[in-house]
Structure 1
Amino acid sequence: MTHPGRLPSPYTAERGGTDLADILERVLDKGVVIAGDIKINLLDIELLTIRLRLVVASVDRAKDMGIDWWESDPSLSSHARKGELARENEELRRRLAELEERTV
C-alpha cells in the first residue's frame, strides 16, 4: 500500500519477484531466438530486405543447439587462428617447392 507523498518501495526478490540475475540465468539456460524481417518496397518493387536473427544463449546451450561458429572464426578463437596459420604455412611451402622445381 502506498501513502500519499511517499514513493512506493522498490520491487525486490523478498516480495516474491525475480531479480535480473535470475532472469538472465533462465534466458541463458533455455536460450531465446528473436527473428524479424524488414522489407522496403516502392510501388510493389522490393528495394531492400534485411533479415535479422538473434540468438541469446549460454555457450554450452548454443553448442547443444549446434551453434559453434566462433570456434572456427580466426578473429575469435586462438585455436582457429593457429589452424589458419598452419594451412597458410603449408600452402606457402607447397608454392615455394613448385617455384624451386621450375628454376631447376
Structure 2
Amino acid sequence: MPTASARSDRLNMRVSPEALSTIREAAAAQQQDVSSFVLGAAMEHAREVLLRDRILQLTPRELDQVDAALDAEPQAVPELAALIAAVGRDATRRGAKDLAAH
C-alpha cells in the first residue's frame, strides 16, 4: 500500500446513510478505517474486472462458436467416462476396506 506521502489524488463520493452505515460496520469488522476498507474493496474489484477484460476478449466469431457449443447437445467423452468409472470403483473399494478394518 502506498505511503501517505505517495498519495496525491482524492476520491469523493456521496452515499446514502444506510450505505455508509453498512460500510462502517464492515470496515470495523475488518479492523480497518472506512477509507482503507473502501479502497481495498474497490481495488480488488477493479483488478477482477481488468483481469476478466484482458483474458476474456473474444472476437464475434469466437463468441458465436462458444454460443454454438453451449447450445449443442452434450456428448459423452468415452475416456472421461472411463476415468470417472475407474475412480468410482477405486473409491468404493477403499470404502469397503475402511469398513472391514473397523
| Same-fold call, TM cutoff 0.5 | no
Q: TM-score with structure 2 length normalisation?
A: 0.30
The answer to which structure has the higher helix fraction is: 2
Of structures 1 and 2, the one scoring higher in RCO (CA 8 A, sep 6+) is: 1
The answer to which structure has the higher strand fraction is: 1
Greater Rg over alpha carbons, structure? 1
Q: TM-score with structure 1 length normalisation?
A: 0.30
